[in-house]
Amino acid sequence: MRYQLRSFFAAGMGLINSKVNIHDSNDWLIPDDAPWRPMVATYHGSQYRARWPYYNTMDYARGRLSTALNLDLSMLGPRWLPRPMPDMADKRKRNGNGVCRVAHAPTNREIKDTETVIGALDALDGVELVLIEGVSNAECIEIKSGCDLLVEEFKLGYGTNALENWAMGIPVIAHALPGILGYMKRELKELPFIDTPLEQLRDAVAHLRDSKSAYNSARRKGRNYWKKYHHPAVVATQFSDICEEAADAAISD
């Protein structure tokens, strides 16, 4: 059987053990019998989303404290540990050509409704849609830094693309499925993105193009959200507290 090392990842500090997990040829996590507690497991991406009952059962059986980098994943059981994002305000380029440049960076066109986004913004006066595909992360950030808005996604709310924009002080238009959107509103109280159903995208972009006050309000909201939840120092403190909690629980056992 072919095995592969895959970071899902479990990170350590102090009394917390650090470990890389082994997956089989079907990409399933292979359990072991070593006493790896105390441990904090941090999940991200579609692999956990597709098999969360399995991973939750494994964590419960092994006494692991589980966290997730994506807010929507915390609906499935793990505690939310926000993804850290460095300050990138100095990367932002001021667009002075009078055209509202709107970035859209689909990793999967179907999931991000890219064709509908293209159709919605086609021939909108004073708006240039900038599609970003097939480039490195560094190139993607460079292109986005010269844009005025990001159109993110309409099913899960937001991902790393949006975080990079907020760290640069650039507003994000997004939406999510009803269950996820309701959960985000309860957890965050105020959504960091401009909540826009796909069928209202054209009007939302036109409004931000024409209203400087609405644009600046959205920019501040996203930037403040990044500072509150995703600034590296904030995440480091939260992670340290979680590790101490896991260690204390193991000692009390």
pLDDT band at 12 (very low <50, low <70, confident <90, very high): very low
Q: Do both 22 and 108 map to the same domain? A: no
**Half-sphere exposure of 141 toward its Cβ, with a 13 Å CA cutoff?**
18
pLDDT interval class at 172 (50, 70, 90): very high
* Residues 106 and 215 occupy one common structural domain: yes
pLDDT at position 19: 46
pLDDT, tens digit, 9 for 90 and up, residues 60-97: 877 778 888 899 999 999 999 999 999 999 999 877 67
Choice between 130 and 98, residue whose per-residue pLDDT is larger: 130
Do 154 and 172 form a contact (C-beta atoms < 8 A)? no
pLDDT for 58 equals: 82
Report pLDDT for 243: 81
Considering the domain architecture, whether residues 151 and 243 belong to the same structural domain is answered as no
- The model carries a pTM of 0.82
**One domain for residues 93 and 211:** yes
Q: How many domains does the chain have?
A: 2
Report the percent of the chain where pLDDT is more than 70.
Answer: 83
pLDDT band at 20 (very low <50, low <70, confident <90, very high): very low
Do residue 129 and residue 65 come from a single domain?
A: no
User: Best-predicted range by mean pLDDT among 35-44, 192-201, 241-250?
Assistant: 192-201
Q: Which two tokens stand for residue 194?
A: 């401009």
Domain shared by 59 and 141, yes or no? no
53 and 174 in a single domain? The answer is: no
Banded model confidence at residue 24, pLDDT cuts 50, 70, 90: low
Helices 114-121/201-210 angle, 10° precision: 50
Is the same domain home to 108 and 122?
yes
Question: Which one is predicted more confidently, 12 or 168?
Answer: 168
- Expressed in angstroms, the distance from the first to the final Cα of the chain is 36
Over residues 132-142, mean pLDDT: 96
Residues with Cβ within 8 Å of residue 37, at least 6 apart in sequence: 17, 62, 63, 64, 250, 253
- Read off the pLDDT of residues 193-235 as tens digits, 9 standing for 90 and up: 999 999 999 999 999 999 999 999 999 999 999 999 999 999 9
Domain that holds residue 59: 4-83+232-252
- Mean pLDDT taken over the chain: 84
Whether residue 74 sits in one domain with residue 114? no
Same domain, 145 and 156: yes
